[in-house]
Structure 1
C-alpha cells in the first residue's frame, strides 16, 4: 500500500514536541526575557547579562551604558553594555532605573525603608543613590534626566527638578486631573501626556526648563502619549494605535506606520531622528522596530542583526547617537528550544522516510 506523507502527521509530531516542551519540568518557564545592546554598524547583539532572572533595559547614554531592572533591582552597565552592576535600593526591596545621562547619572524608582515609592538619582557612573522626595504624599518616579541633571517624572503630578536633581517643581496639566512626564532634553523641554479638560489623554511638550505646557494633538483620534524627545525637540510616542514623530519643537504629528499589523508605539529617538519602539507584524506578533533619520522607513530590527537561535526582539526602548539600540528579546528556555528543534528534526526525518517509501512504491 502506498502511503503519502501529509500535514496531519507533521502537525501531530509538532504538537507532541510543543506539548513535551510546555510540560518539561516544573522549574522551567516557556520563555525568558533578556535585553540586548544592538550595534547597527557591526550588526551584532550583545546580551547585557542579568542579576538573576529576566532583564529589562530602559535607557542608554552616549557611551553605551545601559540601565534598567533585573530581578527586582535597578542596574547600570559599563560602556557598550558590558558588566552589569546592582544599584541597590533606598532601603526597600525593589528598584528600577529608567533614564541615564552622559555622565552616567541614573534616575528611577525605589521602595524606601518606610514603605514609600520614591524617585531617585545617582552620582556619575551610577554611584550613590539619593532620594528625590515627592511633591506630596509618599510616591514619586523619575523617568528622564538631561546633561545638567534635571530630572522629569511623576509624583501624582508631573515634575521637573533643577540641576543635579535639586528642587522638585510641578509642571501643571492640560486642564485635566492626571498628567505624566516622561522624557526631557538638554534644554529642559519635557514631554509626556495629560488629561485635557474634556477628559481625554493628550501628548504634551513644554518650553525650556519645563515652562509652558502645550498640547501636541493626536493623529485624528482621541488619545496620544509622548515618551521621547531629542535635542531639536522632535517628539515620539503613540496616538491610539500608531507610533508618531513630530517636527522640531513638537510641531506636526506624523504617522510612522507599522510592521504590517494594526499597532505600533515609539519610545526613543536620537539626534538624527532615528526612532525605536514596538509594532505588531502581519503575523500578529510584537517585533522591535527602528526607522531611518527623521523617522523615515520603519524596519524590523530583527532583520538587521544576527541574533541567538530562537531569540525575537519584541521591543526597543532607546537609541543613542552612535546608533546603539537597547531591546528586549523573548528567548525560549534552552531545554524547551532543544525539544522544539528535536521535534522539527523528527518531522524532517519521517518526511524523508515517507518520500523514499513513496518513490519505491512507484517503482
Structure 2
C-alpha cells in the first residue's frame, strides 16, 4: 500500500479527533452577581441547583449582609439585630450557613438560614464566638467555636443547635472547614505542644493527621463524598504554600500558575478543584481550576469583551458537581470587587461523536478499498 496514502489517512484521523476534542471542551458563561445596593460582593458556595451563597455590601457600603443569589436575583439574609452577616455555604435543599454579629456587634455567632431571612443562632461551645463554614445535605454543620472562658477555639459539629466539640491533634486548637454527606469533617488542628497546625480529618470525634508537603503547616478546606480533601500546605523548608489534594493521608502537590503560592478552596464529586494561585514572579493572584494536577487560569475563559471591560477573576471559592464555579473578581476600571458565576455552557453533543465515528468508518472503508485494488 502506498505510504503517502496511509500518511494522509493518519492526518485525517488526527483532524477528526482534534475537532471532536475541541467541540467537547468545556466553556463557561460569565455572570456578575450584583451586590445588595453597595459596590462589593463575594460568592463562596454554589449548590447543584445553581443557588449561590456569599455576602455583599448594602447601600452606602456601611454594612455587609449574607446574600443568596438565585440566578442574578439577590436576597438579603439579614439577621435581626445584626449589623454584619456572612454566608459561607449552601446545601442542595437551599439551607445556608455562616455567621452573624450579635447585638452590639461585639461577637459573632454561627447562623443557619432555612430558605429565607432571619437566621437561627447555633450557639457556641461555651465561649463568646462561633462561625459556621459548611453544611451537608443532612443539615449537619461544621465550623469553629470558642470554648468556655474563651481560652481556645475548637472545631465544632452542629446537629440542629446541639454542638459537638471536635478535639485537636494533641494541641489546644482545631478548626473545621468542610463536611461531606457521610458526615466526615475536614479542617486543621494543632499538634502536640502547639508547634504546628496540620490538615485534619474527623470521623465522628476521631481525628486523623493528614500531614503536609514537607513544611510545618497544612489546612484542609474542602472534602467531597469520596473523602478526597483539598486545601493548602507549606512545602519543604516552608519555601512556598501550594494547593494540596489528600487521598487518605497521601498528599499531592497541585502546583501553581508559575508563582510560589496556591490555595485550594473547594472540590466537587468529580474531583475538580478550584482556588487561587499566584502567577509567574508572584505578580498577580488568579482564580484557578485544577483538573488533576494541571492548574488552569480561569481568566482564560473570559471573552475578549469581558477582559476589555476590566474584569479579572481573582479567587474561585466554590464548584458544584456540574462544574459551575463561583468566587470574586476585581474590575480594573470601576475598582469594584464583585461575586462572579462561571456556569458551564458547553457539553458533549451526540452529533460530535456521530461525526467522529462516521469519519473513522470512512477511513476504514478507504483502507479496505485500497487493499482490494
Specify the TM-score bucket, using the shorter chain as the normaliser.
0.7 to 0.9
Q: Which of 168, 171, 177 is the matching residue for 2:172?
A: 177
Quote the residue 1:119 is aligned against. Answer: 110
Q: Which of 233, 244, 269 is the matching residue for 1:271?
A: 269
Show the 5 A alignment for 1:173-322. 173-198=168-193, 199-207=195-203, 210-240=204-234, 241-247=241-247, 250-283=248-281, 284-292=283-291, 295-306=292-303, 307-308=306-307, 309-322=309-322
In 2, Cα distance between equivalents of 1:128 and 1:335: 32
Unpaired segments ≥5 residues, structure 2: 1-24, 58-63, 147-153, 235-240, 337-373
In 1, Cα distance between equivalents of 2:246 and 2:330: 30
Quote the residue 1:63 is aligned against. Answer: 49
Quote the residue 1:161 is aligned against. Answer: 158
In 2, Cα distance between equivalents of 1:112 and 1:335: 31
Q: Which of 55, 69, 94 is the matching residue for 1:104?
A: 94
SS in 2 for 1:176: strand
Q: Structure 2 length normalisation: TM-score?
A: 0.74
Aligned-pair distance for 1:233?
Answer: 0.6
SS in 2 for 1:312: strand
In 2, Cα distance between equivalents of 1:278 and 1:117: 27
In 1, Cα distance between equivalents of 2:74 and 2:89: 15
Contact in 2 for aligned 1:89/1:112 (Cα 8 Å): no
In 1, Cα distance between equivalents of 2:166 and 2:277: 31
Deviations 1:76-130 (A, max 9, x none): 011xx4211100024121100011100010000101225431110011x345411
Quote the residue 1:331 is aligned against. Answer: 331
Aligned-pair distance for 1:335?
Answer: 9.1
Contact in 2 for aligned 1:90/1:112 (Cα 8 Å): no
Does residue 91 of the first structure (1) align with residue 90 of the second (2)? no
Contact in 2 for aligned 1:90/1:130 (Cα 8 Å): no
In 2, Cα distance between equivalents of 1:335 and 1:224: 33
Alignment root-mean-square deviation, CA: 1.7
After superposition, the Cα gap between the structure-2 partners of 1:329 and 1:203, relative to the gap in structure 1 and judged at 3 Å, is: same
After superposition, the Cα gap between the structure-2 partners of 1:288 and 1:335, relative to the gap in structure 1 and judged at 3 Å, is: closer
Deviations 1:249-271 (A, max 9, x none): x3311000000011111000000
Unpaired segments ≥5 residues, structure 1: 1-39, 337-363
Quote the residue 2:359 is aligned against. Answer: none
SS in 2 for 1:53: strand
In 1, Cα distance between equivalents of 2:130 and 2:263: 25
After superposition, the Cα gap between the structure-2 partners of 1:268 and 1:160, relative to the gap in structure 1 and judged at 3 Å, is: same
In 1, Cα distance between equivalents of 2:302 and 2:136: 30
After superposition, the Cα gap between the structure-2 partners of 1:215 and 1:90, relative to the gap in structure 1 and judged at 3 Å, is: farther
Contact in 2 for aligned 1:104/1:126 (Cα 8 Å): no
Aligned residues: 286
SS in 1 for 2:225: coil
Aligned-pair distance for 1:69?
Answer: 1.1
More deviation, 230-239/113-122: 113-122
Q: Structure 1 length normalisation: TM-score?
A: 0.76
